[in-house]
Chain A
Amino acid sequence: AQSVTQPDIHITVSEGASLELRCNYSYGATPYLFWYVQSPGQGLQLLLKYFSGDTLVQGIKGFEAEFKRSQSSFNLRKPSVHWSDAAEYFCAVGLFNNAGNMLTFGGGTRLMVKP
């Protein structure tokens, strides 16, 4: 069964600083990979996704992520963090087979932004 690990439970960065959130997965084949963001009291919003092709994918709100097969990683990055980026971020691995939408989530990383 696939699994997703987000090693950092909490991260604090200063506004304007760069950000990298780590995500490692365990899966027997190339998975579908996603990053979602959750603001307090809200559902999850898709930031970006990777299915195939170019390993560097661009998402909304200035985020990008790079798929590295050799490291089984899909880290999320942003060059300059804004205070509004404070939220919880979830990495997810998708197994979209004929049986349905099986999506496995990591435990999440809570991002705090210092002024």
Chain B
Amino acid sequence: NAGVTQTPKFQVLKTGQSMTLQCAQDMNHEYMSWYRQDPGMGLRLIHYSVGAGITDQGEVPNGYNVSRSTTEDFPLRLLSAAPSQTSVYFCASRQGERNSPLHFGNGTRLTVT
């Protein structure tokens, strides 16, 4: 059981470039979300989805787009990368029940120069 899989593990971008961070889960979880982790700030929610075709903004959505065309996949798109988006990105998913914990991927370390 792979759980939550994120690709790539590392990425370096130049300012203005675009890219997509991939996230896939094989647990048939309804909820999926993207967090960014910055030193001393814990994890902050970027976008989330409560099911296929439904997405919403989290705490820090600016500069990022998401879509949820299938239950399994929840890609995060950076349209025009900025140095402020240098961070470690985590995808997480959980079942629909309220007492279900989040399952995290191993993260993508992104550097924007």
Binding site for B on A (CB under 8 A): 4, 6, 9, 32, 34, 36, 41-46, 49, 51, 90, 92, 96, 99-108
Number of interface residues of B (CB under 8 A): 26
Render B41-83 as a binary contact track against A, CB cut-off 8 A, 1 for contact: 1111100111000001010000000000000000000000000
Cβ-Cβ contact count across A and B, 8 Å cutoff: 67
Cβ contact within 8 Å between A101 and B94: yes
Chain A residues near B84: list those with CB within 8 A: none
Cβ contact within 8 Å between A101 and B48: yes
Which B-chain residue is minimally distant from A98 (CB atoms)? B50
* 8 cross-chain CB contacts under 8 A: A41-B107, A43-B104, A44-B90, A49-B101, A101-B33, A103-B33, A103-B43, A107-B41
Binding site for A on B (CB under 8 A): 4, 31, 33, 35, 40-45, 48-50, 56, 58, 90, 92, 94, 98-99, 101-102, 104-107
Cβ contact within 8 Å between A34 and B41: no
With A49-B99, A105-B43, A107-B41 as contacts: A99 and B104 at CB distance below 8 Å:
no
Cβ contact within 8 Å between B99 and A99: no
Tell me which of B33, B43, B48, B90 has the highest count of chain A C-beta atoms within 10 A of its own C-beta: B43
Q: Select B102's contact among A42, A46, A99, A106, beta carbons within 8 Å.
A: A46
The 4 closest A-B pairs by CB, nearest first: A105-B42, A43-B104, A105-B43, A44-B104
Which B-chain residue is minimally distant from A108 (CB atoms)? B42
